[in-house]
Amino acid sequence: MELGTFSVSLSVKNIKASKDFYEKLGFEPFGGDISQNWLIMKNGDCVIGLFQGMFEGNILTFNPGWDGNAQNLPSFTDIRELQRKLKARGVTLTSEADESTTGPSSFTLVDPDGNAILVDQHV
């Protein structure tokens, strides 16, 4: 099952301090808007999102339909199909994509240790 490109979404207390810290580790701004308290940073193939005041806790994020540079892929498994497969395997979702729609959508789940997972399709 191909869930899409992976990143970690970090809930940060001070986005400017976090940006400075991750720049010291070699990450560079890639997307987002620091004035809106969110920033996407890359270091090679590693992607992290910094989010101040948007959610509690950190989130493992998968983006079906995107490559590692947030470019649309010519083909991918739609989020609704991923959702159906996971539910058929007995995975409990905490929010679901609307099966009657197409295009961008998302669903969420939590792993056995309480880690939040977001599957977020933008195309």
pLDDT digits (tens, 9 = 90+) for 78-111: 999 999 999 999 999 999 999 999 999 999 999 9
The distance between the two most distant Cα atoms of the chain, rounded to a whole number of Å, is 45
Q: CA-to-CA distance for 14 and 41, rounded, in angstroms? A: 15
Give the domain CATH number at 91: 3.10.180.10
pLDDT digits (tens, 9 = 90+) for 31-76: 999 999 999 999 999 999 999 999 999 999 999 999 999 999 999 9
Structural domain span for residue 117: 5-121
Total domains, the chain: 1
Give the pLDDT confidence score for residue 4 in this predicted structure: 94
